Amino acid sequence: MALFKLAASIFLLASSPAYGFTSPTTLIARSKQISNSNNLSHHNSFFPSKIAISATTTSSSLSALPISSTIPTLDISRTIIGLLLAQKISNSGYKKQSLSKSGAISAFLVASFSLATSFRNGLTLLAFYWTSSKLTRVGSKIKGKLEEGHTEGGERGASQVFACSLIAVLCACVRRILVGNDGPLLSTSVGLLGDQLTLAYVAFFACCAGDTWASELGVLSKSKPRLIIKPWKQVPPGTNGGISFVGLAASAAGGTLMGLIHGVLVPGGIASMLPFNLPPMLGAISSAALKKEVLILSLVGFIGGFGGSLLDSVLGATIQVTYYDDVEEKIVKRSGPNAKRVGGLAFLSNEMVNVVSTALSALIAALTARSLLSIM
């Protein structure tokens, strides 16, 4: 229970502003102060089905803590809203069979932490999951005939949820702790770090969306896909490493949408599009800054979606095995009497391929941040 309280305390700290560097030692020390406080004795559970926290009682409880001055009401409110929204979405996914029980708990955790860092981080993550769930249901009957184990809701477990979110959420939390509030590109006072983490976050979900959109829509293409490392060779739909025009177009569209969403939702971005002025604390950024934000992040999204999908396909064609059953005429998960290997090596699972491709996409975006920021 003490460990759980400590984790909950770190969660609250991650959602509080931290302008400048906060060392891990200081962070843990502050977390222990919170977890040992009697004021939090009645708020020791973040389990989705047991959230019953009110903004008023939480604010009053935290006001007596030594670090209360570092956690403004806005951050506390956003954290609580994030917890409630994450609970609703994870429960909905479980009921609609787009998430297994472990997947629902995992989705609740990553959504909560992402929303705690900033609304746009959380909404970008939720946009990826929402679009992916919707596309999984498109042509589900056809997909069931082409791929073994396909269900109408595309039920995802914990490993799939974490493979398509954990690294990005860690980037968001690190940025929140080391840099501070989310904001436009080129606006932080700690050099390039904040922008690198923002671009890594976008590139990660662009790669995830690109791969998912390509898989869910490409398999429905009327023309047979071709193996990416042997483009002259046609392969059965659903083969790892198979690409088609429909799939490539979908990957570019999915990645670009992630970048566009993240750009438009920059703090102050929507406010700049309103025909009236808001109070200073909710003030808009300039139209030029918004335009640059949208263009850069859309470009990162396009590259992450299209390039990340190609990278995922190369990995799938080489180090992820694919079996095809001649009798059932569909892709199957393992070899059998009628199943033959049509590509790849049994080295990495689908989840591990996703982890590698998304991690590399995020890393490349971070390392090329200076160049990306200078082209607009």
Alpha-carbon distance values, 295 to 103, 122, 288, 298, 307 (Å): 34, 20, 11, 5, 17
Alpha-carbon distance values, 240 to 186, 210, 212 (Å): 39, 15, 12
Which H/E stretch holds residue 308? helix 287-319
Please report, rounded to a whole number, the percentage of residues in the chain having pLDDT higher than 90: 37
Please give the pLDDT value at position 74.
64
- pLDDT category, 100, cuts 50, 70, 90? confident
Q: Which of 34-48, 78-92, 223-237, 294-308 has the highest mean pLDDT?
A: 294-308
Q: What is the pTM of this model?
A: 0.77
Please tell me which residue, 58 or 141, carries the higher pLDDT value: 141
Please give the pLDDT value at position 146.
63
DSSP assigned state of 185: T
Please give the pLDDT value at position 340.
75
Question: Residue for token digits 């694919």?
Answer: 322
Average pLDDT over residues 123-148: 81
Report pLDDT digits (tens) over 254-289. 999 999 999 999 988 776 666 555 554 455 678 888
Please tell me which residue, 4 or 315, carries the higher pLDDT value: 315
Please give the pLDDT value at position 253.
97
Please give the pLDDT value at position 153.
54
Quick one: CA torsion of 134, 138, 141, 146, rounded to 10 degrees? Answer: -100
Question: Residue for token digits 């025009």?
Answer: 245
**Which of 45, 59, 65, 54 has its CA nearest to residue 4?**
45
Average pLDDT over residues 160-189: 89
Q: Which two tokens stand for residue 311?
A: 């990278």
**Which of 34, 114, 38, 41 has its CA nearest to residue 81?**
114
Q: Which of 6-15, 69-78, 315-324 has the highest mean pLDDT?
A: 315-324
Residue 23 neighbours by CB under 8 Å, 6+ apart: none
Query: Letter for the amino acid at 32?
Result: K
Q: Which of 5-9, 40-44, 215-219 has the highest mean pLDDT?
A: 215-219
Burial of 126-142, coded b for 16+ CB within 10 Å and e otherwise, reads bbbbebbbebbeeeeee
Residue 206 has pLDDT above 90, yes or no: yes
Query: Letter for the amino acid at 375?
Result: I
- pLDDT category, 21, cuts 50, 70, 90? very low
Residue 17 has pLDDT above 50, yes or no: no
Report pLDDT digits (tens) over 209-254. 999 999 889 888 888 899 999 999 998 888 888 999 999 999 999 9
